[in-house]
């Protein structure tokens, strides 16, 4: 790596560390006393952990138990990203199995991502495509839901998972049956802070997923209701 690139990378890393320290100090103290994010991770509300641009997750947060769901992944998916929280992994296996029975072939693309991996992805994007691109399309470390182990990006054989594909339509209509929600729906960008992502599903448990699906709301809106 050239010296100039090394210096740029070092500046980026220091900036990220600084931004996240400030964010974590300021924003992990929730005003709602009954729902303290990471303190409650082991109880029945753990599947509702809210991670977004204004609710970062701490650098050292790791899911309770990571396992590899027995589903097919893309060849180039890294080993780490083939892992999920155990409960979510079991639900995902059911989802993929039922989809297959109904003629829909889904493929795992990327599930768990550690804080360190997200730092790497973010920095690579900054170096290759610039900071504006990275900020728009890549989650800043600590602000990616993939760190919870409860999310996965799925795809199809053609790797063209837009809303017109039968796989994306099936997923949008059926994910809740298995406890998953479409985390970044179309038309809710202002609330979630993310562009529409038909491929990103998030495990919240069947009861919550059904309510979120039926009311056509986001996790952000749901957390304010309960
Ligand atoms: Zn995703």
Task: Give the DSSP per-residue string, 69-124.
Answer: -SS-B-TT--SGGG-EEHHHHHHHHHHHHHHHHTT---EEEE----HHHHHHHHHH
Q: How many angstroms does the Cα of residue 2 sit away from the middle of ligand 1?
A: 32
Q: How many domains does the chain have?
A: 2
d(CA 201, CA 167): 13
Give the containing element (helix H, strand E) for 202. strand 197-203
Structural tokens at position 111: 């599930």
Q: How many angstroms does the Cα of residue 184 sit away from the middle of ligand 1?
A: 9
**Contact of 207 with 178, CB cutoff 8 Å:** no
If asked whether residues 140 and 169 sit together in one domain, one would say no
If asked whether residues 220 and 161 sit together in one domain, one would say yes
The pLDDT tens digits along the chain (226 residues) read 666 666 666 665 555 554 444 333 333 333 333 334 554 444 456 799 999 989 999 999 999 999 999 999 999 999 999 999 999 999 999 999 999 999 999 999 999 999 999 999 999 999 999 999 888 788 899 999 999 999 999 999 999 999 999 999 999 999 999 999 999 999 999 999 888 999 999 999 999 999 999 999 999 999 999 9
From 59, 93, 189, 197, the catalytic residue: 197
If asked whether residues 159 and 176 sit together in one domain, one would say yes
Partnered with residue 52 across adjacent β-strands are: 55
If asked whether residues 20 and 1 sit together in one domain, one would say yes
If asked whether residues 181 and 222 sit together in one domain, one would say yes
Residue 197 is a catalytic residue:
yes
DSSP-based helix, strand, coil % in the chain, nearest 5: 50, 10, 40
Q: How many angstroms does the Cα of residue 3 sit away from the middle of ligand 1?
A: 33
Domain-located, residue 219: yes
Length of the chain: 226
Strand order in the sheet with 107-110: 107-110, 151-155, 197-203, 180-184
Structural tokens at position 96: 């993929």
Q: How many angstroms does the Cα of residue 151 sit away from the middle of ligand 1?
A: 7
Rounded to 5 degrees, φ, ψ at 4 are: -60, -45
Could you tell me the residue range of the domain that residue 120 belongs to? 1-28+115-147
Tokens 């790497």 found at: 120
**Contact of 84 with 66, CB cutoff 8 Å:** yes
Domain-located, residue 17: yes
Residue 8: its pLDDT value, please?
60
If asked whether residues 122 and 200 sit together in one domain, one would say no
Residue 195: its pLDDT value, please?
87
Which protein residues have a CB closer than 5 Å to ligand 1 (ion)? 153, 200
């Amino acid at each position: 790596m050239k010296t100039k690139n090394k210096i740029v990378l070092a500046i980026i890393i220091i900036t990220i560390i600084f931004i996240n320290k400030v964010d974590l100090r300021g924003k992990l103290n929730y005003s709602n006393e009954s729902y303290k994010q990471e303190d409650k991770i082991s109880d029945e509300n753990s599947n509702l952990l809210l991670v977004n641009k204004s609710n970062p997750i701490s650098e050292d947060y790791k899911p309770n138990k990571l396992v590899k769901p027995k589903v097919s992944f893309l060849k180039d998916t890294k080993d780490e990203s083939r892992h999920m929280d155990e409960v979510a992994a079991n639900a995902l296996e059911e989802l993929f199995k039922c989809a297959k029975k109904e003629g829909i072939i889904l493929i795992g693309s990327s599930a768990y991502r550690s804080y360190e991996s997200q730092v790497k992805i973010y920095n690579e994007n900054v170096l290759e495509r610039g900071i504006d691109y990275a900020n728009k399309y890549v989650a800043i470390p600590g602000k990616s839901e993939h760190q919870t182990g409860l999310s996965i990006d799925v795809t199809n054989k053609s790797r063209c998972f837009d809303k017109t594909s039968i796989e994306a339509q099936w997923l949008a209509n059926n994910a809740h049956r298995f406890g998953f929600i479409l985390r970044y729906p179309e038309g809710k960008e202002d609330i979630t802070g993310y562009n529409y992502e038909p491929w990103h599903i998030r495990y919240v448990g069947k009861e919550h997923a059904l309510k979120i699906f039926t009311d056509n709301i986001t996790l952000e809106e749901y957390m304010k209701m309960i």
